[in-house]
Amino acid sequence: MIAFVLASYAPDIPAGIERATAALAAGLGKRGHDTLMIAANGTATEPGIVRLRSLEVSFPADDRALRHAIDDSAVSAEIAEILDRHQARLVVYTDALWGLGRAMADHPARKVLAVHIVGHDEDLRPALVSADVVIAPSPMVLQQAADRGYPTADWRIVPNALLHDEGAWLDQGRRERLRTNGPVRVLARAAPEKGAAELLDHMPRLDRRVEIMLATAPFEQREHRQAEIIRRCLDTKDPQLRVQTGGLAWRQVPGWLANAAVVIVPSLAETFGLVALEAMNVGTPVVAYDVGNLPELLSSGGVIVKRSEGPYGLWQAAMAITQDPVTYLRTSRAAYYRSRDFRPTTIADTFLKAVW
């Protein structure tokens, strides 16, 4: 049994760590490993999820509230009891704080700390002391940690995986029709660092539809920030623009991205870039800034724009690639084949080699 710990875990939450955790568990399942999710309050009857009784935290919550809830609880002992009951041989704490890495259980199961982001020192330092293995999704996370003074020589890279691997590149005829008439699409959480509002603030007049799908996250305490971003996007008036809120179920994401001519990822920071990867997996070219892990992830499967060019650079690149059928088709094909490196079973194999 391999257990994963993530306080905020629930199916279909619009967040990278949750979706990446589900994808890794799915890949391990295909390799014959039983998996278990350990999470905070929620519906106790959800299959494959054990809910922590001792962690008294309700969502939305911020880092401080969760930290205090952990410190005032017997959550470490409860995690140990769950691991013992399910005979877990390995446990992945998916973050120093939200993955309860600062409260690792005293249990013989091998302890893995997944550093998806380099969080607060007060969480990361105790988690690193207790961890047997540390993994990160991209080299840039290691660089960020090293810049903060953490010794990362023994940390291992385990990229995030596709949750739903579509397994086939879209046929050339359909992709050509999308290039000609398909919409530009953006899938993002309503958070400032995701850049959706800034992108729409600078939207030019276009000759094709633009569709924005925004989602709100239950773990975000400062809900007024989410509401403000949604309001800004909804207030953008353009006959070609359609803004939807409520997000998508995880299973709906590939199909929605597949029916775009191009996907813009306007994120201002990305430690990995799951939305970009999911678009690549269905053969949709991606346009993104040269921030975080996105340049390395996209490679020839997309168009990278300098952050200094701002939203106009993203719009210009999106329109340019749809007007060049040869470059578009080549990029679409490269995007799909690049995504093959991130199949669930491939990443599960990488994970197993890294942690044992």
Q: Is 80 exceeded by the pLDDT of residue 134? A: yes
Residue 118 pLDDT class (50, 70, 90 cuts): very high
Instruction: State the average pLDDT for the chain.
Output: 92
Q: What is the spatial distance between Cα 163 and Cα 170, in angstroms, rounded to a whole number?
A: 18
Q: What is the spatial distance between Cα 89 and Cα 186, in angstroms, rounded to a whole number?
A: 40
Q: What is the spatial distance between Cα 204 and Cα 215, in angstroms, rounded to a whole number?
A: 24
Residue 277 CA from chain centroid, whole number: 10
Task: Please report the domains of the chain, with CATH numbers, ordered by start residue.
Answer: 2-158 (3.40.50.11930), 172-342 (3.40.50.2000)
DSSP letters, 136-147, are ESSHHHHHHHHH
Strand ranges for 190-298 from DSSP E: 210-215, 241-245, 262-265, 286-289
Closest by CA position to 209, among listed 103, 105, 318, 286: 318
Strand order in the sheet with 133-136: 49-51, 35-39, 2-5, 90-93, 110-114, 133-136, 156-157
Q: What is the pTM of this model?
A: 0.93
How many residues would you count in the chain?
356
Segment 13-40 mean pLDDT: 94
Structure confidence by residue, pLDDT tens digits, 67-110: 999 998 899 999 999 999 999 999 999 999 999 999 999 999 99
Pull the structure tokens for residue 27: 């890949």
